[in-house]
């Protein structure tokens, strides 16, 4: 399945993703008011590709932040926004009937590992029922490629690092992780049943400007700048593969015009979890570095110009001690390589945070 890029052929050169996408139909981006969704939509629009953005604008975190993300792209040529809940089967079906999307980037979900312990039914409605409406829309419209967000959390109790897509991912430790793994299985079933091409991307701890207020980078920055204590779980013995949003967007868009093909050599007597006879693939996308949580805090302290007050706590339920992405498969497929180090990305985020909040 691995392509051999040629600079003369946009369809085979991953750096020319914009030239390989059709201009007669818009790309659907779900979660368009979200952190990653708004960034993907903006990049597509600035490349001259029309986008239909969908979001339900729920109040999981400050809706004003979502509104401000939308405001940044609302006036870009080619953008259409529809406020629809993914669980609205009739609304999503009508949307696909109206636009007949050839390419879909599905990023909408109920996010948050810890929140899934307190509000499990929200995850079933958004991440399972909502994903099913997208799969049905893609089936009906004969979509050329669905790229959807999975998560590093699917690796669950796996202690074999770095995490690779040929590792097992069937021991989740949170409901959120279980729904993301279920998305991968659902997409595979539709790829098999209806030859509906789909690619899942397992995101590793995404951060950057316009990020999520429930994530550690935002929470720690906010607390340090306001001289509030920060909660440090597992007594600080944590590592995360922190991935800058610009790198995530690059990986998503390199894959978008490159639907997976069935693997003709797939051995059903010794099935590999990262391959299939159906047009479905799953990739890791991360910075491919396991960074110490204490190093993240030190970078925030340096950028903020003040020391954090730390409350050391035990591991929380549903959490894992380390994430670390093996991205070799994605690199082989698209030439993807992350560009932004944590040492570059954190000062940029802190500067943006100061500007946004007048600090």
Kindly state whether residue 32 falls inside one of the protein's structural domains: yes
Kindly state whether residue 149 falls inside one of the protein's structural domains: yes
Position 4 scores a pLDDT of 35
Kindly state whether residue 262 falls inside one of the protein's structural domains: yes
Kindly state whether residue 280 falls inside one of the protein's structural domains: yes
Q: Is the pLDDT of residue 36 over 70?
A: yes
Q: How many CB atoms lie within 10 A of CB 157?
A: 11
Kindly state whether residue 230 falls inside one of the protein's structural domains: no
Q: Is the pLDDT of residue 47 over 70?
A: yes
Q: Is the pLDDT of residue 10 over 80?
A: no
Span 138-172, pLDDT tens digits:
999 999 999 999 999 999 878 788 989 999 898 98
Question: Are 144 and 27 a contacting pair, CB within 8 Å?
Answer: no
Position 11 scores a pLDDT of 53
Kindly state whether residue 272 falls inside one of the protein's structural domains: yes
pLDDT tier, 347 (very low <50, low <70, confident <90, very high otherwise): very high
CATH number, position 136 = 3.40.50.720
Kindly state whether residue 303 falls inside one of the protein's structural domains: no
Q: Which of 123, 148, 155, 176 is catalytic?
A: 176
User: Any idea which of 44-48, 170-174, 213-217 has the lowest mean pLDDT?
Assistant: 170-174
C-alpha 285/C-alpha 293 separation (Å) is 20
Active site residue 155: no
What total of structural domains would you count in the chain? 1
C-alpha 13/C-alpha 130 separation (Å) is 33
- Tally of residues, the chain: 359
Domain of residue 92, residue span: 14-204+244-286+326-339
Kindly state whether residue 298 falls inside one of the protein's structural domains: no
- The model carries a pTM of 0.93
DSSP string for 8-52: T-TTT-GGGHHHHS-SSSPEEEESTTSHHHHHHHHHHHHTT--EE
C-alpha 45/C-alpha 210 separation (Å) is 18
């Amino acid at each position: 399945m691995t392509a051999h890029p040629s600079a003369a052929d946009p369809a085979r050169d991953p750096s020319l993703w914009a030239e390989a996408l059709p201009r007669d139909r818009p790309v659907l981006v779900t979660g368009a008011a979200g952190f990653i969704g708004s960034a993907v939509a903006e990049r597509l629009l600035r490349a001259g590709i029309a986008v239909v953005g969908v979001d339900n604008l729920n109040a999981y975190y400050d809706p004003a932040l979502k509104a401000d993300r939308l405001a940044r792209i609302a006036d870009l040529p080619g953008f259409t926004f529809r406020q629809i809940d993914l669980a609205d089967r009739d609304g999503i079906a009508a949307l696909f009937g109206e636009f007949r999307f050839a390419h879909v980037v599905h990023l909408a979900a109920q996010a948050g590992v810890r929140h899934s312990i307190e509000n499990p039914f929200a995850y079933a409605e958004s991440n399972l029922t909502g994903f099913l409406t997208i799969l049905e829309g893609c089936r009906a419209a004969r979509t050329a490629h669905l790229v959807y967000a999975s998560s590093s959390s699917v690796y669950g109790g796996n202690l074999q690092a770095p995490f690779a897509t040929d590792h097992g991912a069937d021991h989740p430790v949170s409901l959120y992780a279980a729904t993301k793994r279920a998305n991968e299985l659902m997409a595979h079933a539709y790829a098999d049943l209806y030859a509906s091409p789909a690619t899942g991307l397992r995101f590793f701890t995404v951060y950057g400007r316009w990020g999520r207020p429930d994530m550690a980078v935002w929470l720690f920055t906010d607390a340090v700048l306001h001289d509030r204590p920060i909660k440090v779980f597992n007594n600080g013995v944590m590592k995360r593969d922190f991935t800058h949003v610009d790198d995530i967007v690059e990986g998503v868009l390199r894959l978008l015009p490159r639907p997976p093909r069935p693997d003709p050599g797939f051995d059903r007597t010794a099935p590999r979890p990262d391959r299939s006879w159906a047009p479905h693939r799953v990739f890791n996308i991360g910075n491919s570095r396991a960074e110490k949580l204490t190093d993240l805090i030190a970078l925030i302290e340096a950028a903020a110009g003040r020391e954090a007050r730390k409350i050391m706590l035990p591991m929380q339920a549903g959490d894992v001690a380390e994430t670390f992405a093996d991205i070799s498969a994605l690199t082989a497929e698209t030439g993807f390589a992350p560009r932004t180090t944590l040492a570059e990305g954190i000062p940029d985020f802190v500067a943006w945070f100061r500007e946004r909040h007048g600090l």
